[in-house]
A and B are shown apart, each in its own frame.
Chain A
Amino acid sequence: MEKTQLAALAATLAPDAQVVQGKQFVEITLLPTELYTVAEKLKNHSDTALDMLVSITGMDYGSELGTVYHLRSTVHNHMIVLKTRVSDRENPEIDSLCGLWPAAEFHEREAFDLLGIRFRNHPDLRRLFLDSTWGYPLRKDYKDDINILAK
């Protein structure tokens, strides 16, 4: 589907969100509260048909934490990017999308492990790479005196 058409359709499906046509893909920035509902609508609507979750990227925006979802439609061969941010750095919580795409399970565990973002309703939210005493390395304010040389 053409990017402009896709952007228009996304705007109708997610009226409160901010829809932008990026250089490559249509990008939708959402509030964490409407993430699950919008994702579900985008998955089930026949013209968007986002049936494959490509990746979930945990981001640290400095003052906020967030996640970026790359979703693809194998039927129409287009990709849409969903973004969301949480401002609470102590207890960031975002809804899990495991109910829609089982592939989200490991990606969300990785985001939890490296950034500390908790996902509600995740079937098995545990640390993936690191042990429980480690901090959250991908955060911009992560300090490790031994391994990282602070500039």
Chain B
Amino acid sequence: MEEAVKAPVPEQEEYVINMGPQHPSTHGVLRLVVSLRGETVRNVEPHIGYIHRGIEKMCESITYPQIIHLTDRMDYLSAHINNEAVCLAVENALGIEVSDRVKVVRTILSELTRIQSHQLFWATFGMDLGGLTCFFYGLRDREMILDIFEETCGGRMIVSYNCPGGLMNDIHPNFQKRTKEFISYFRKTLPEYDRLLTGNVIFQERLKNIGVVNREQAIAWGLTGPVGRASGFSCDVRKHNPYSAYDRVTFKEILYDEGDSFHRYKVRMDEMWESMNIIEQLIDNIPAGSYAEKMKPVIKLPEGEYYQSVETARGELGVYIVSDGNKNPYRVKFRSPNFVHLAPLNLMSQGSKIADLVAINGSLDLIIPDIDR
């Protein structure tokens, strides 16, 4: 079977530039074929698949606990939250209720994951726009969270700490102390980030009114996470369909109306404050209990279909498992937020300049392995 409709042919006077798979600011192996007229962008066509590993196909031949290790590698900056999604899907399908301790620890680790993902976003976003110093400051602070992960979970970025039924191991005795130290340190450091970048006139001029998406477009294109919330679309899964311990903490959902790149950035900065609030509400009272429920050695889900959505740092991750009663799932589909966010890139960058394309791409905060799976 040959391909359907070919790609659109550029008009005369347009020339085509390739932001190749290796590029300092595409955050991964993303190839953008940009048609330009002068300095203005006419068409952006993403070519993906450079890191397509066939995760969904692989899931059809492995067991449910083994899927956890593949989910780490999709959106690797929200590794813990991806793990949590699959675990929750399996636990809800089997009707297992995990202990409070597990729920609280999962929530704390999810929020720490969110903070470190946004720190990396801040670091690379500043670097893309030319403020190279931001890269070092952001990563320096992120190291503190990665040290906490390493001590408790065994891995810095690829954690694989969740398993169906609970956690792989109990938390390290230093976990609470280190997390509290980090929170008190970061509360003092985060205003520095604002002083360096957010309040900077050059930065604001580069981002305001660039790549505007209004609320109807956000819903029609399925944009969730900080991208959707910056356009006024209230889509936080933690609020609408709470899971783990989110129903017992109070936090604000950050919403802005303008929908431009600057507000996508602002949403993430404000979310870091909210995440710290959530952690502070939970860190002192981690309930005692077991860290994992007793599960059968071979997990078989009853026949049927199960859908679970969680809020990763980038948006709503949906896990759709179709089971036929065996120990391997029949089909697993990951509805990844980045895959959906890449689609309107063309729409957002119509009429902007090349430099704005880099800004828009950065503000969407795409992780390419999550797109390709």
Report which A residues bind B (CB closer than 8 A): 22-25, 27, 51-55, 57, 59-60, 68, 70, 74, 77, 79, 81, 101-103, 105-106, 110, 112, 114, 116, 118, 122-130, 132, 137-138
Chain B residues positioned under 8 Å from A126 (CB to CB): 3-7
B56 contacts which of A25, A54, A138 (Cβ < 8 Å)? A138
Interface locus among B102-110, B148-156, B299-307 = B299-307
Q: Is the interface of A mostly helix, strand, loop or mixed?
A: loop
Chain B residues positioned under 8 Å from A53 (CB to CB): 222
Question: When A22-B305, A54-B318, A137-B57 are in contact, do A102 and B49 touch as well, CB less than 8 Å?
Answer: no
The answer to whether A116 and B235 have CB atoms under 8 Å apart is no
The answer to whether A51 and B219 have CB atoms under 8 Å apart is yes
Question: When A25-B307, A127-B3, A137-B57 are in contact, do A54 and B222 touch as well, CB less than 8 Å?
Answer: yes
Chain A residues positioned under 8 Å from B235 (CB to CB): 74
Chain A residues positioned under 8 Å from B220 (CB to CB): 51-52, 101-103
Considering the chains assembled together, what is the distance between the CA atoms of A25 and B7 in angstroms? Answer: 38
The 10 closest A-B pairs by CB, nearest first: A129-B49, A55-B335, A103-B222, A125-B4, A129-B52, A57-B333, A106-B343, A103-B221, A52-B219, A132-B3
Within 8 A of A (CB), among B304-361: 304-307, 309, 316, 318, 320, 322, 331, 333, 335, 339-340, 342-344
Interface flags, B1-16, vs A, CB<8A=1, else 0: 1111111100000000
Chain A residues positioned under 8 Å from B49 (CB to CB): 128-130
Q: Is the interface of B mostly helix, strand, loop or mixed?
A: mixed
Considering the chains assembled together, what is the distance between the CA atoms of A125 and B144 in angstroms? Answer: 46
Q: Does B365 contact A (CB under 8 A)?
A: no
The answer to whether A106 and B307 have CB atoms under 8 Å apart is no
Q: Does B372 contact A (CB under 8 A)?
A: yes
The answer to whether B3 and A129 have CB atoms under 8 Å apart is no
Minimum CB–CB distance from B314 to chain A (whole Å) comes to: 15
Chain B residues positioned under 8 Å from A128 (CB to CB): 48-49
The answer to whether B2 and A55 have CB atoms under 8 Å apart is no
Question: When A57-B320, A103-B340, A128-B48 are in contact, do A77 and B7 touch as well, CB less than 8 Å?
Answer: no
Chain A residues positioned under 8 Å from B3 (CB to CB): 125-127, 132
The answer to whether A68 and B320 have CB atoms under 8 Å apart is yes
* Interface residues in B, total, Cβ within 8 A: 40
Q: Does B188 contact A (CB under 8 A)?
A: no
The answer to whether A129 and B372 have CB atoms under 8 Å apart is yes
Q: Does B161 contact A (CB under 8 A)?
A: no
Chain A residues positioned under 8 Å from B48 (CB to CB): 128-129
Chain B residues positioned under 8 Å from A24 (CB to CB): 306-307
Chain B residues positioned under 8 Å from A79 (CB to CB): 307
Q: Does B296 contact A (CB under 8 A)?
A: no
The answer to whether B1 and A122 have CB atoms under 8 Å apart is no
The answer to whether A106 and B339 have CB atoms under 8 Å apart is yes
27 A-B contacts (beta carbon < 8 Å): A24-B306, A54-B309, A55-B333, A57-B331, A59-B331, A68-B320, A70-B335, A74-B219, A81-B307, A101-B220, A102-B221, A103-B220, A103-B222, A103-B343, A105-B343, A106-B343, A112-B4, A116-B1, A124-B5, A124-B8, A129-B48, A130-B49, A130-B52, A132-B2, A137-B57, A138-B56, A138-B57
